[in-house]
């Protein structure tokens, strides 16, 4: 994938986020989209080598549309300024749709590669199942928290959107109460993609995703 061209396109799009500009530059977008699809296809093939559950994921279904849903937000810009993908066995793009843990990444207009694993804003029944798994599998959860490769690559579980108080029905003195307050069960990090080739991005992601496999497998067990 021509990452220099991708950043140039996304940067220009961020400054001209309107339909007229996009239509004029649609041929550029189509080429970049095809290259991005190829990157995702190769990434899925690589992930399959350590996570066989991904085998059925269709690359086209793993890509997010560039069009924004502007119905409910104040920002009416019609296009996203990222190319992004979410890889799940189910083919659904969002863990919040009940698809379970995902391998996610995006390339943005500022030359940043953002990548994550886990479940973002899972629905209520799924969130309850994860919380029950924390309580019922203390040993497995503690082993996950101590996993060296996971921590070296991503750090701790992210606390974005964490509850200030214990969730309803859970005692404040439970051993892992701070983790029971989480509404997301994700790890993520980012790095520049300027100067990298497509294969270097792919290898960076594959190495990171393999380090996050214990989190993915633990979540699937919930």
Alpha helices by DSSP H, 93-147: 124-136, 138-145
Average pLDDT of 165-177?
Answer: 94
| Residue 180 · residue 131 · CB < 8 Å | yes
Burial class (CB in 10 A: 0-12, 13-18, 19+), 90: middle
Q: Is the pLDDT of residue 97 over 60?
A: no
Please tell me the total count of domains within the chain.
1
Q: How many CB atoms neighbour CB 86 within 10 A? A: 23
Task: Give the model confidence (pLDDT) of 208-220 as tens digits.
Answer: 999 999 999 999 9
Show the domain range for 21. Answer: 3-220
Q: Are 118 and 216 in contact (CB under 8 A)?
A: yes
Q: What is the pLDDT of residues 100-144, one digit of tens each?
A: 899 999 999 999 999 999 999 999 999 999 999 999 999 999 999
Half-sphere exposure for 148 (CA within 13 Å, toward CB): 0
User: What is the predicted pLDDT for the residue at 72?
Assistant: 76
Render the burial of 167-186: b for 16+ CB within 10 Å, e for the rest: eeebeeeeebbebbbbebbb
pTM (two decimals): 0.92
Q: Which tokens belong to 30?
A: 């189509």
């Amino acid at each position: 994938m021509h990452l220099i061209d991708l950043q140039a396109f996304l940067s220009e799009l961020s400054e001209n986020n309107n339909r007229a500009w996009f239509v004029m530059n649609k041929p550029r977008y189509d080429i970049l989209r095809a290259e991005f699809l190829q990157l995702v296809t190769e990434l899925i093939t690589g992930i399959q080598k350590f996570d066989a559950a991904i085998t059925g994921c269709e690359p086209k279904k793993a890509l997010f549309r560039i069009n924004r849903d502007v119905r409910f937000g104040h920002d009416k810009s019609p296009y996203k300024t990222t190319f992004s993908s979410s890889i799940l066995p189910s083919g659904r793009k969002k863990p919040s749709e009940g698809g379970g843990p995902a391998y996610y990444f995006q390339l943005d207009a500022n030359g940043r590669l953002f990548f994550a694993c886990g479940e973002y804003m899972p629905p209520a029944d799924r969130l309850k199942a994860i919380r029950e798994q924390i309580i019922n599998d203390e040993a497995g959860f503690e082993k996950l928290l101590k996993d060296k490769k996971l921590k070296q690559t991503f750090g701790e579980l992210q606390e974005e959107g964490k509850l200030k108080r214990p969730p309803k029905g859970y005692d404040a003195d439970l051993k892992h109460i701070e983790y029971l307050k989480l509404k997301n069960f994700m790890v993520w990090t980012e790095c520049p993609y300027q100067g990298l080739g497509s294969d270097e991005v792919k290898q960076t992601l594959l190495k990171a995703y393999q380090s996050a496999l214990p989190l993915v497998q633990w979540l699937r067990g919930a």
